[in-house]
Chain A
Amino acid sequence: MRHRTLLAAIVCLWPLDSSAELNVSIATFDPGVPEDYSLHQDLDVFPKIREIESLFLPFVLREALVDAGDWGAVRVVPESDDAAELLITGAIVHSDGEKLAVSLRAVDARGEQWIGASYFTEGNYEDLFRRFVDDLAGIRDSLDDRTLNGIVNLSLMRYSAELVPDAFSEYFEQLPEGGHRLVRLPAEDDPMMARVHRVRSVEFVMTDAIDEKYRELHEEVDSVYEIWREYRRWYADFKVREANRNELRESNAARGSYEQLRSVYDNYRMDRLAAQEQDKWIVGFNNEIAPVIERMDERIAEMNGWVEDGYVEWTRILGELFDIESGLD
């Protein structure tokens, strides 16, 4: 799988003449945790678990895209990149271990939105993402090769313009209604373009290394996350059973009797004990996963720092080269 991704990354460094396999960037999801703490209980939001899910679920989507087989390089990235050929962003709307609802949006380099919808599942999370991938493929298949190649080329021009604005900002234009349009392409033997390709290839290697970190996270979290989901299913079932049991018990005791008072108190007591047990599970989840995420964050920060430092340097060097070659100096 990794070899295929790397191969796809290398192949996709250059604009494609034939049918284009779009590269896809998946930004880590918005955990969807409301700032108002008092809403967490009502909405069944567990902030720490959501943070983990926001890093973990994009990889499940990535796998669904890779399994579909007709996409270019698919990468999970820490931040959105508007110039990506196809950028997918997501926000967790609901996740309680049993049910999952994710709002997903796919936008191409032109700024055209392919999909902006919420997906819901009560079963396998993979199914949710497979449905999204099917919808995505449907839209892609409705576009002709010229449009798809145009997206690839526009993405490359936008990337190039970020590196060397003076050399590339005229190859596309920003539309008044929003979005971008490709105007023309540089010559095939443009030396600056060749340099941009080299820079981009280095950046892709780093992006793939970062993507690899999300894969590792997925591997480490997957089994623990399954235990959490199993527990949540049990908890939901327990709540239903408790509600039924309490209904039967309450109806038997005389009002104001000790049995009635004890029953009312015990119902609350059992509910709180179960909720407090759940809190322990959340702490346990976090205890187990937090060090993994900490290690991953450190590594990604290092790699991002390296890319950003390099980026500043590349921009400077390429800018100077452009000035020399265009005779502006």
Chain B
Amino acid sequence: MTHRITAILAILLLGACAAPGPVLDTTNPSFVGDMPVDFSGSWERDYSRGDDVRGTLNSIFRAQQRQNQQQSQFPGGPRATPSLSPRDGNALVALARLVDEITRPDVLTITQNDFEIRVARKDDFDLSCSFFDGVAQGTDSAYGTEVCSWDGESLISHLVLPGGLTITSRFTMSADGNYLRVITTAKSSATRTPFTQHRYYIRFEAPPNAFNCIETLSMKRVCSTGEVAP
């Protein structure tokens, strides 16, 4: 599995050099010492900022339209990017819809220790990044591979799924530690154009739980207002 994850990191790195658009920078998959940033805490969506899917799609299509017009006005000029076919367009809309849905949770709960960062999202799996001796340890199954890396002070989670679908989430915290920006980029082998969405979150203090709970096997979740001992 380690080899497969290393190979995926290498492919992402090569992709970052060659592909236009958002860059998947995996130049720093390992680090020395403490993790560069502590993201732990509760984060709620800042609806005053961030991209609107429809707006982002419109701007991509408008840019494409402008480019098509320029090409028809000045035939023979240099072509920046190949034009978007209707099939590409449909695939891009599909990507956008997927990104919109998977970035919908209002609240992110991030726990972090010396070797793991876990991003809990409602109704979805936790994004999990483990580092041992500063080296990223991915998770790998028949259904996909998840691996993390640091790019300076940004944490990057790469999800590589079958059929050429990749989803990259870049987590960056503001200098004062009160804001979190998550840039999600999805790529599909069905379209050359990736879809990127920005979401912003504000740190908040989750109310303390009135109950102390622990998981047990025979009694499931055991909660008490006092100390809980199995």
A: residues with CB less than 8 A from B are 37-38, 41-42, 223-224, 227-228, 231, 243, 246, 255-258, 260-262, 264-265, 267-273, 275-276, 280-281, 283-285, 287-288, 290-291
Contact = CB atoms under 8 A, between A and B. Distances in A.
Given A42-B1, A288-B217, A261 B143 contact: no
Closest 10 CB pairs of A and B: A256-B190, A272-B125, A284-B215, A256-B91, A258-B94, A268-B144, A268-B143, A284-B217, A271-B143, A267-B143
A276 to B, nearest CB: 6
Interface stretch (B27-35, B47-55, B70-78, B158-166): B158-166
The secondary structure that dominates the A interface is helix
Contacts of A285: 217
B199 to A, nearest CB: 17
A273 B191 contact: no
Given A246-B143, A258-B94, A273-B125, A227 B217 contact: yes
A316 to B, nearest CB: 43
B218 A288 contact: yes
Interface in B1-16: 1-2
Contacts of A270: 143
Contacts of B95: 261
B201 to A, nearest CB: 21
Interface of B: 1-2, 87, 90-91, 93-95, 97-98, 101-102, 124-126, 132, 137, 139-144, 146, 159, 161-163, 165, 167, 188-191, 214-218, 220, 229-230
B144 A287 contact: no
Query: Among B125, B140, B188, which residue has the most Cβ atoms of chain A within 10 A?
Result: B125
Given A224-B218, A227-B218, A261-B188, A271 B141 contact: yes
A41 B188 contact: no
A265 B165 CA distance: 9
Contact of B94 (A223, A256, A276): A256
A256 B188 contact: yes
Given A42-B1, A228-B217, A269 B125 contact: yes
B132 A272 contact: no
A265 B217 contact: no
17 contacts: A42-B1, A243-B142, A256-B87, A256-B188, A257-B90, A257-B91, A260-B94, A264-B162, A265-B167, A268-B159, A268-B161, A270-B143, A271-B142, A281-B215, A281-B217, A284-B215, A290-B230
Contact of A37 (B93, B132, B139, B191): B132
Nearest to A43: B1
Contacts of B101: 262
B139 A288 contact: no
A260 B98 CA distance: 10
Given A261-B95, A273-B125, A287 B140 contact: no
A288 B218 CA distance: 8
B37 to A, nearest CB: 23
A280 B126 CA distance: 13
B41 to A, nearest CB: 20
A256 B89 CA distance: 10
Nearest to B126: A276
B99 to A, nearest CB: 10
B101 to A, nearest CB: 8
A219 to B, nearest CB: 14
A37 B161 contact: no
Contacts of A223: 218
Nearest to B215: A284
Given A269-B124, A287-B230, 19 more contacts: A37-B132, A38-B2, A224-B217, A246-B143, A257-B90, A257-B94, A258-B93, A258-B97, A260-B163, A261-B94, A264-B162, A265-B161, A271-B142, A272-B139, A281-B215, A283-B215, A284-B220, A288-B217, A288-B218
